[in-house]
Structure 1
Amino acid sequence: MHPGNTHTPLASWAPTAAPIVIRPADAEPAVGSVESGFVCDARVLNVVNGEHFSGAERVQSHLGRCLPTFGVTADFVCVKPGRFAEILRGQNGCWGKGFQAPMRSRFDLRAAWSIAALVRRGRYDVLHAHTPRTAMLASVAARLSGVPWVYHVHSPASRDSSRSVSNQVNATIERLSLRGCAHLITVSESLRMNCVSGGVAEEQVTVVHNGVPAVRPLRLRTPEPEGHWVLGMVALMRPRKGLEVVLNALARLRTKHDLTLRIIGPFESDSYRIGIDDQIERLRIRDLVEFVGFTDDVPEELAKLDAMVLPSLFGEGLPMVVLESMAAGLPVIATRVEGTPEAITDGVEGLLAEPGDAESLAGKMDALVSGQHDWTRMSDAAVARHRKDFSDLAMAQQTARVYQKVLAGARVPA
């Protein structure tokens, strides 16, 4: 172990947090590609950032919960302790054990020695990294500990944010780190093609679509055309999510329809929140917008909505909130970005607008609210598609199969 750097269980430092409510008892039976009887006997340590709890972290939490079904012990080590670490502790071991190996700066490699020591102590068979930062650490820790590592591509590093310099740095770190990676998992076909075009051998990349529990909360009403509609946006609010676009679209429709927009999720920064508040004032739509903030029960919030809006500009792998909305029977109005069209067919499970185009988005919102599409038919189609292709158990089993392949000796050539 590197001198002066230690790892400790999350329970020793993370504040108490209420558990994320997934209500598995409410879930419908998983179907699709789940094969009964499959078991992969492996111990896996997930290396995660840990400061947020948004899409990628939801993937990690569902893997931690579901992988034991297939014989995999899945634990976590956080290198930027924060929201994920707090929530992990609140699960009381339901998502696996949690540890910390905090980085003091963006390029602090000393955490890799802590992770390697943890691998040896916990007798882990595989490291599983989820971000460029953790890929950098996993690549070193894997060499130190002698175990293979897997990289989970949740979004394209080169266009993950609106900060071009940061994107370039992350993409470079990712590319250099992957030289020793045993296998890549991408959450969408578009990301798989992106990796292959970047030089990764096709046989070393597996698409594992994101998956969520089949929780369809009870609805108290069905929206009526031209009635009052409650739209919602669930995300870590940051520029690439396109909140500005949906606000502009809402302003276009305010005199035509009775609409409310619920903004569900934290803001990445105070300065971004201030900019959004200024835009709302300029558009004179304060009475149409409700700020909800972070939620620990997404299905409960989805049950209050009539449609989900996700106007992402770029950088989406396969958004978890799209899949959670589909499971809840909630039509989704999204944009044609990255992997989203792999889940939503325009006019079937939801509607697709052009990214960055408020007029296009307003047109799709208008089409649904005015009754051009049957809400019930679209709701049922979303539920059926989720059950077929995007269950949490299917995601976990396919991930376990990657571990099995890696442990059988598959490697990306150095």
Structure 2
Amino acid sequence: MSIINVVGAKIWGGGEQYVYDICKQLQQRHRTAYILVDQSNEDMQSRYAQVGHVMTANLYTLKGFLSVNAVAKQMKEQGIHTIVCHSGKYILFCIALKQLTGAKLVFIKHNLVPGKTDIYHRWINAQVDAFVCVSKLVYDDLMTPAIKDTSKYHVVYNGIDPNRFQSFSDAVPMKYKVRTFGYSARITERKGLYLILSALEQIHQNNPDVRLIISGAGTEDQIKKLKDYIHAHQMHSYVEFIGFTRDIEGLYRSIDCLLLPTITREAFGLVICEAMYCGVPVITSGSGAQREIIDDGESGFIVDPLNEHSLQQAMEHVMSDAVNLPNIITKARQVVEQRFIINRVADELVTIIDNLHSTDK
């Protein structure tokens, strides 16, 4: 059964990594995976070519509708029977593809968007054959009293691909001191980056050997704002911005603790799972589904969002001798291995898709 993933993003993020990892798993299961990306995004095309068949269209203009007939034609020629939509921005495009091809439509809900009960959204919900929510929080947000039949709504937690972290596959290096913090996410305020910088500035006054490594992609304006902040606050000696890196193993080896105090609500937290698998303790906020991943004080640390003082206290706490870091690291690794591995995600997704098509037989 062939599947096409519709990816309209311009910058690589957690959702795009999800598609990459799932397509890799589908290959291993001898399932044909196609990925539809914008014709101008060469970076997305080159990355996805490693794990599937790349199709291109003009997705950035009118949300792809200028290309809908051409894409539908290619789907029929390739025998593609399942459309997987990864963004609400492209759900109407995907519904049009479904109507033109007769394919089943699966909507992966990567974001927290409260369910709506107006006629328009009830119509959209009726067109989708299966909703897959990446956390229980996403599922709960989606549910409304208007939904009577919940059978097509599923919770399938996201997960990491351990093969991306082969140097950590057998065991994780234990940490006993935290001196170098890390940030790995998009360069944006909503991820709590400037809360980190402000807290770190205070900590550095009494701990001159503390450091921060910042990794992530962003727009030119976002990156300029970050560099200007570092310059204005004279933080060059202990804050390093390395941009987006594909050497994610190297990043996790170079830091002692990951910081992700997201301000807005998180639908999941893939980078949190990555760090936990690689033996890096995590401090995150309780702004969303992070609490479904981390047990505060047991497998990581959760602080209040928008609370710089709470973040600073947590950072100073992990730097102290009061924390049993090996115990935190061991428990965090166990949590990911038991619940958040991509093999399980792919198995559950394939089962959902197969069940959709079994009703046609």
TM surpasses 0.5: yes
Q: Secondary structure at 2:132's aligned position in 1? A: strand
Equivalent position to 1:381, from 331, 342, 352: 331
Larger mean Cα displacement after TM superposition, 332-341 or 175-184: 175-184
Instruction: Note the C-alpha offset of 1:276.
Output: 2.2
Q: Give the match for residue 81 of structure 2.
A: 125
CA RMSD of aligned residues (A): 2.6
Q: Number of matched residues?
A: 352
Instruction: Note the C-alpha offset of 1:127.
Output: 0.4
Pick closer, same or farther for the CA change 1:327–1:58 going to 2, 3 Å: same
Stretches of structure 1 that go unaligned for 5 or more consecutive residues are 1-41, 160-167
Q: Distance in 1 between matches of 2:172 and 2:331?
A: 19
Equivalent position to 1:58, from 14, 17, 29: 17
Task: Give CA-to-partner distance per residue, 1:289-337, whole Å, 9 cap, x none.
Answer: 1011111131221111111111111142112111111111111111112
Larger mean Cα displacement after TM superposition, 185-194 or 282-291: 282-291
Instruction: Note the C-alpha offset of 1:116.
Output: 1.3
**How is 1:225-264 mapped onto 2 (pairs within 5 angstroms)?**
225=177, 229-257=179-207, 258-264=209-215
Q: Give the match for residue 54 of structure 2.
A: 98
Greater relative contact order (Cα < 8 A, sep 6+): 1
**How is 1:292-331 mapped onto 2 (pairs within 5 angstroms)?**
292-331=242-281
Q: Distance in 2 between matches of 1:224 and 1:374?
A: 8
Q: Secondary structure at 1:56's aligned position in 2? A: helix
Instruction: Note the C-alpha offset of 1:372.
Output: 2.2
Q: Secondary structure at 1:352's aligned position in 2? A: strand
Larger mean Cα displacement after TM superposition, 324-333 or 69-78: 69-78
Paired residues of 2:81 and 2:102 also in contact (CA < 8 A): no
Task: Give CA-to-partner distance per residue, 1:362-407, whole Å, 9 cap, x none.
Answer: 1111111113221111111111111100111011111111101221
Equivalent position to 2:216, from 238, 256, 265: 265
Instruction: Note the C-alpha offset of 1:73.
Output: 2.1
Q: Distance in 2 between matches of 1:81 and 1:50?
A: 12
Stretches of structure 2 that go unaligned for 5 or more consecutive residues are none
Q: Give the match for residue 85 of structure 1.
A: 45
Q: Secondary structure at 1:72's aligned position in 2? A: coil
Q: Distance in 2 between matches of 1:261 and 1:104?
A: 36
Q: Distance in 1 between matches of 2:315 and 2:336?
A: 22
Q: Give the match for residue 191 of structure 1.
A: 138
The TM-score normalised by the length of structure 1 is 0.79
**How is 1:40-79 mapped onto 2 (pairs within 5 angstroms)?**
42-79=1-38
The TM-score normalised by the length of structure 2 is 0.90
Say whether residues 1:206 and 2:206 are aligned partners: no
Instruction: Note the C-alpha offset of 1:191.
Output: 0.1
Q: Secondary structure at 2:212's aligned position in 1? A: strand
Q: Distance in 1 between matches of 2:4 and 2:347?
A: 16
Q: Distance in 2 between matches of 1:49 and 1:186?
A: 19
Paired residues of 1:299 and 1:324 also in contact (CA < 8 A): no
Paired residues of 2:58 and 2:64 also in contact (CA < 8 A): no
Q: Give the match for residue 341 of structure 1.
A: 291
Give the residue type in structure 2 aligned to 1:309: L
Task: Give CA-to-partner distance per residue, 1:21-43, whole Å, 9 cap, x none.
Answer: xxxxxxxxxxxxxxxxxxxxx21
Q: Distance in 1 between matches of 2:133 and 2:322?
A: 35
Say whether residues 1:403 and 2:353 are aligned partners: yes
Q: Distance in 1 between matches of 2:45 and 2:8?
A: 9
Give the residue type in structure 2 aligned to 1:100: T
Instruction: Note the C-alpha offset of 1:62.
Output: 0.5
Q: Distance in 1 between matches of 2:68 and 2:244?
A: 31
Paired residues of 2:65 and 2:93 also in contact (CA < 8 A): yes
Instruction: Note the C-alpha offset of 1:286.
Output: 2.6
Q: Distance in 1 between matches of 2:35 and 2:358?
A: 23
Q: Secondary structure at 1:295's aligned position in 2? A: coil
